[in-house]
């Protein structure tokens, strides 16, 4: 099958879905009202609550929800075949993920920009709020620790990305200054900043910088320390100082990268060398239910609800922008995941080193060698290598030197990982502050107190075994096996909160209830299998934490079902438009 045909069909489908189903949700279900005042205006503090043009906010929102998720998930799930991967990304994003992101944004905006976990106290009960916020804290703890490590690994893998990624920070700060302080055009100066950023990409391609060992610490460990310090600083700065302008640049970078890949698909139009369907790869778990956990971002991801209700709801200046930011960003991420599937399922066949003797493999041989078994394809390096090589092959097909193509993709990966890191840290600050406010622990409700907890707990996870590279990897990745199922169960919980909101507003709930039931069944099934595996291996830490999270989720569902039953029985009056 020609990959170009699949990509074009999906892209057309996403455009049609945005203008039909997305518009239906906006007008008929969530009833967005441009006359309503938004928390970015009513609670404006020019730090977290800042009214923002939708084009700028789209850049922040998209780069925050994307990160590496829409890349690593499809890059490993394709081992089951490109057809199930494409179908889940296409259908999941339109009918589940985009609904989840859109709904989380609207519900949060109508509740003073509070996180979806905190809103649960108003819609369901205070106990549910505490349960949900604890689950969110646990997920973000994993994200901050792991992404600090991932960025260190990526800098080590792609030292050519170091100069462009770090020079993007002063470019972003100046862009924010020019737009907010001098009233400059965000379009004009955004384009200038992106051009300057790509000039640094060329610089980095020929001047790679690899972190040396210093003070007896491995280079990757040093990067982890630097990234944790960076995330603390970045997450307490006003959003318009660094977060918004950097993500605006990254949003353009994403569009450029997608454009380069699309041109590569048009020029090279590689055929899929991955199997269409492979239900039993060597050593792999069952495609049911794990496809729906492995591919999260790109289809549906609980982390997205935290971005929608954590940062974007505090910056959206008008409810009419919610469809563009919430629904549109998710479909754009799905388009990225579609291109990833093309890169790893077809682009990789244009040539890939075997690694052993340096021989260049092409066609089906390239794919089957890299994806010989679950263990050979499951590592971070393997997943990213497949994407970078496949993408570079497609970009090189129309004349861009491979060194530049590799650097472009390396900078793309690190930039998005860094966005996820400091957005997660900022959201974790909000979560800690909301918990502290609920239980009257005032010192932890402050900006620095909450951020110290957010970064300090992640540092503890990373370094509790020691400062050696093996110990840091073991510490940061210790809880990672739980992330997939916890993240997807959290998506179900966000859909649960949205469904209760719609029920209280006397609006149809079927459009969120069906995705809710599907995600509860699939991810609950996956969690049960994982718990059995942890128990059989005697991994009591993962078993205990996973079981606790699973029981908390079940408790939330039971309390929510009681509320829904009461609403149905009592015919309770709908909440006001601001609840």
Instruction: Tell me the DSSP string of 132-165.
Output: HHHHHHHHHHHHHHHHHHHHHHHHHH-GGGHHHH
Weakest mean pLDDT among 85-99, 273-287, 349-363, 389-403 = 349-363
**241-274 burial: b if 16+ Cβ within 10 Å, else e:** bbbbbbbbbbbbbbeebbebbbebbeebbbebbb
- Residue 330: its pLDDT value, please? 97
Phi, psi of 387 (to 5 degrees): -70, -50
pTM across the whole model: 0.91
The yes-or-no verdict on residue 250 having pLDDT over 80 is yes
* 143/69 Cα distance (integer angstroms): 11
* Total count of domains within the chain: 1
Q: Which sign, positive or negative, has the C-alpha torsion 177, 180, 182, 183?
A: positive
Say if 156 falls within a structural domain: yes
How far CA 64 is from CA of 356, 375, 419, 420, 426, in Å, comes to 37, 29, 6, 5, 11
- Residue 49: its pLDDT value, please? 95
More confident residue, 458 or 268: 458
Distance spanning both ends of the chain, measured CA to CA: 49
Q: How confident is the model at residue 132 (pLDDT cuts 50, 70, 90)?
A: confident
Say if 575 falls within a structural domain: no
Residues of the chain above pLDDT 90, percent? 61
Contact 354, 47 (CB under 8 A): no
Provide mean pLDDT across the span 254-274.
87
For residue 51, the SS3 value is coil
Residue count of the chain: 579
> In which domain, by residue range, is 329 found?
3-570
Weakest mean pLDDT among 193-202, 204-213, 411-420, 489-498 = 411-420
Residue closest to 423 by CA, chosen among 223, 293, 230, 266: 230
The tens digit of pLDDT for each residue in 102-127 reads: 999 999 999 999 999 899 888 888 88
Provide mean pLDDT across the span 231-246.
92
Say if 173 falls within a structural domain: yes
The yes-or-no verdict on residue 135 having pLDDT over 80 is yes
Q: Where are any strands of DSSP class E within 152-211?
A: none
Say if 261 falls within a structural domain: yes
Q: How confident is the model at residue 565 (pLDDT cuts 50, 70, 90)?
A: confident
Secondary structure in 3-state letters for 538-577:
CCHHHHHHHHHHHHHHHHHHHHHHHHHHHHHHHCCCCCCC
Say if 546 falls within a structural domain: yes
The tens digit of pLDDT for each residue in 422-468 reads: 889 999 999 999 999 988 999 999 999 999 999 999 999 999 999 99
The yes-or-no verdict on residue 576 having pLDDT over 80 is no
* 354/361 Cα distance (integer angstroms): 6
The yes-or-no verdict on residue 571 having pLDDT over 70 is no
User: How many alpha carbons fall within 13 Å on the CB side of residue 364?
Assistant: 4
* 364/380 Cα distance (integer angstroms): 22
Q: How confident is the model at residue 308 (pLDDT cuts 50, 70, 90)?
A: very high
Question: Tokens 């982890």 correspond to what residue?
Answer: 224
- Residue 577: its pLDDT value, please? 39
* 453/472 Cα distance (integer angstroms): 19
Average pLDDT, the chain: 90
Say if 254 falls within a structural domain: yes
The yes-or-no verdict on residue 386 having pLDDT over 80 is no
For residue 516, the SS3 value is helix
The yes-or-no verdict on residue 361 having pLDDT over 50 is yes
β-strand pairing of 352-353 with 360-361: antiparallel
Say if 40 falls within a structural domain: yes
Say if 373 falls within a structural domain: yes
């Amino acid at each position: 099958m020609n990959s170009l045909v699949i990509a074009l069909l999906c892209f057309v489908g996403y455009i049609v879905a945005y203008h039909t189903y997305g518009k239906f949700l906006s007008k008929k279900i969530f009833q967005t009202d441009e006359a309503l005042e938004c928390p970015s205006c009513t609670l404006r503090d020019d730090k977290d609550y800042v009214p923002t043009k939708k084009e700028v906010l789209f850049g922040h929102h998209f780069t925050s929800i994307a990160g590496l998720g829409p890349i690593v998930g499809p890059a490993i799930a394709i081992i089951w075949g490109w057809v199930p991967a494409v179908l889940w990304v296409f259908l999941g994003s339109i009918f589940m993920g985009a609904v989840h992101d859109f709904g989380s944004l609207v519900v949060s905006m109508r509740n003073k920009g509070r996180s979806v976990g905190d809103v649960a106290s108003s819609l369901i009960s205070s106990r549910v709020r505490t349960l949900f916020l604890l689950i969110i804290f646990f997920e973000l703890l994993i994200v901050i620790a792991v992404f600090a490590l991932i960025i260190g690994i990526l800098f080590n893998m792609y030292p050519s990305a170091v100069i462009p990624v770090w020079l993007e920070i002063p470019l972003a700060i100046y862009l924010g200054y020019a737009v907010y302080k001098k009233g400059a055009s965000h379009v004009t100066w955004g384009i200038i900043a992106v051009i300057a950023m790509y000039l640094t990409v060329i610089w980095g391609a020929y001047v790679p910088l690899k972190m040396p060992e210093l003070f007896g610490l491995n280079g990757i460990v040093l990067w982890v320390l630097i990234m944790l310090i960076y995330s603390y600083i970045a997450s307490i700065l006003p959003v318009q100082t660094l977060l918004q302008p950097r993500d605006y640049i990254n949003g353009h970078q994403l569009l450029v990268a997608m454009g380069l890949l699309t041109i590569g698909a048009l020029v090279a139009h590689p055929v899929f060398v991955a199997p269409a369907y492979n239900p039993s790869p060597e050593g792999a778990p069952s495609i049911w239910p794990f496809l729906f956990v492995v591919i999260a971002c790109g289809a549906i991801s609980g982390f997205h609800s935290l971005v929608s209700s954590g940062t974007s709801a505090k910056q959206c200046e008008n409810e009419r922008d919610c469809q563009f930011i919430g629904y549109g960003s998710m479909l754009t991420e799905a388009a990225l995941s579609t291109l990833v599937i093309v890169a790893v399922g077809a682009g990789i066949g244009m040539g890939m080193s075997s690694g052993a003797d340096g021989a260049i493999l092409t066609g089906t041989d390239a794919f089957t060698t890299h994806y010989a078994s679950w263990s050979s394809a499951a590592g971070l390096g393997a997943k990213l290598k497949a994407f970078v090589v496949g993408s570079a092959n497609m970009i090189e097909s129309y004349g861009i030197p491979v060194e530049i193509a590799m650097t472009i993709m390396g900078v793309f990966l690190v930039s998005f990982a860094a966005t996820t890191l400091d957005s997660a840290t900022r959201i974790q600050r909000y979560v800690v502050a909301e918990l502290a406010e609920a239980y009257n622990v005032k010192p932890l409700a402050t900006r620095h107190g909450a951020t110290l907890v957010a970064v300090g707990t992640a540092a503890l996870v990373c370094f509790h075994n020691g400062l050696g590279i093996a110990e840091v990897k073991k510490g940061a990745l210790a809880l990672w096996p739980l992330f997939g199922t916890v993240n997807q169960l959290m998506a179900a919980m966000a859909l649960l909160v949205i469904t209760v909101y719609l029920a209280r507003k006397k609006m149809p709930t079927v459009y969120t209830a069906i995705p809710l039931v599907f995600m509860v069944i699939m991810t609950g099934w996956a969690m049960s299998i994982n718990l059995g595996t942890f128990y059989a291996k005697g991994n009591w830490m993962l078993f205990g934490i996973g079981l606790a999270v699973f029981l908390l989720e079940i408790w939330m569902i039971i309390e929510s079902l009681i509320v829904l039953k009461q609403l149905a029985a009592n015919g309770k009056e709908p909440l006001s438009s601001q609840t």
